[in-house]
Chains A and B, each alone.
Chain A
Amino acid sequence: MDVLYFAWVRERIGRPKDVLETQAATVMDLIEELRVREVRYEAAFADLTAIRVAVDQELTDFDAPLANAREVAFFPPMTGG
């Protein structure tokens, strides 16, 4: 599964992308897996109210299932326009 990071989430983690083998059932499970990897992941996911998630390029919630998901992206609230 491709896990992408944007904006300050990318900067805190220090890379734009991870390719993971994961059994995580939901987005929240994946976040818990990432948090224990390294301190910089823990720092990036310290405050989940500041994080948004997209699964296969569709905005969704932390309880979204990851069955058959190919791409998960984490980023701060968007600032377009």
Chain B
Amino acid sequence: MDIRVQSDPFDLGQMANEFAMRQSGMGAIVTFTGIVRDVAGGLDLMEIEHYPGMTEAALTQIAQEAVARFSLGDVLIIHRHGPLRPDDLIMMVATAAPHRAAAFEGADFLMDYLKSRAPFWKKEITREGADWVAAKDGDEAALKRW
């Protein structure tokens, strides 16, 4: 398991490749990447705040739960904080499993829990001002399917 919380950018290809290279006996790897999206137009910055200490603990707990539930061979989570621009990579997860169903499900589970159980908050800064991104009702509801 590899959990990284960082302000620095990461190289998606390099991270995915390194993750794949260190597996053995795994038939499937799934990766998901989240990217800053300018939804309404005019987004200058997305500022991501987090809770140092709790963030790492929460991500580790979520990853351990995914490994146990889907019998994953390995999990990688990278999540950035600080100021990001449209089209910057925010985060990625990778899962390794013997078969693809578990790898896909594990990645899906990680993302649902990351959304509403990892202490990150996004603020969108546009020319008109700054607004905190509100959690969606659907984010909480998504946890119920697991």
Interface of A with B (CB < 8 Å)?
Answer: 4, 6-8, 54, 57-59, 73, 75-81
Contacts and interface: CB of A to CB of B under 8 A. Distances in A.
Top 5 nearest A-B pairs (CB, nearest first) are A77-B135, A7-B121, A57-B54, A80-B120, A80-B118
A81 B139 CA distance: 11
Given A57-B57, A79-B133, A73 B51 contact: yes
Contact of B121 (A54, A59, A78): A78
Given A6-B121, A7-B123, A75-B121, A80 B116 contact: yes
B121 A76 contact: yes
28 contacts: A4-B51, A6-B119, A7-B121, A7-B123, A8-B132, A57-B51, A58-B54, A59-B58, A59-B117, A73-B54, A75-B119, A75-B121, A76-B121, A77-B134, A77-B135, A77-B139, A78-B116, A78-B119, A78-B120, A78-B121, A78-B135, A79-B116, A79-B120, A79-B133, A80-B115, A80-B117, A80-B118, A81-B111
B34 A75 contact: no
* Secondary structure type dominating chain B contacts: mixed
A57 B53 contact: yes
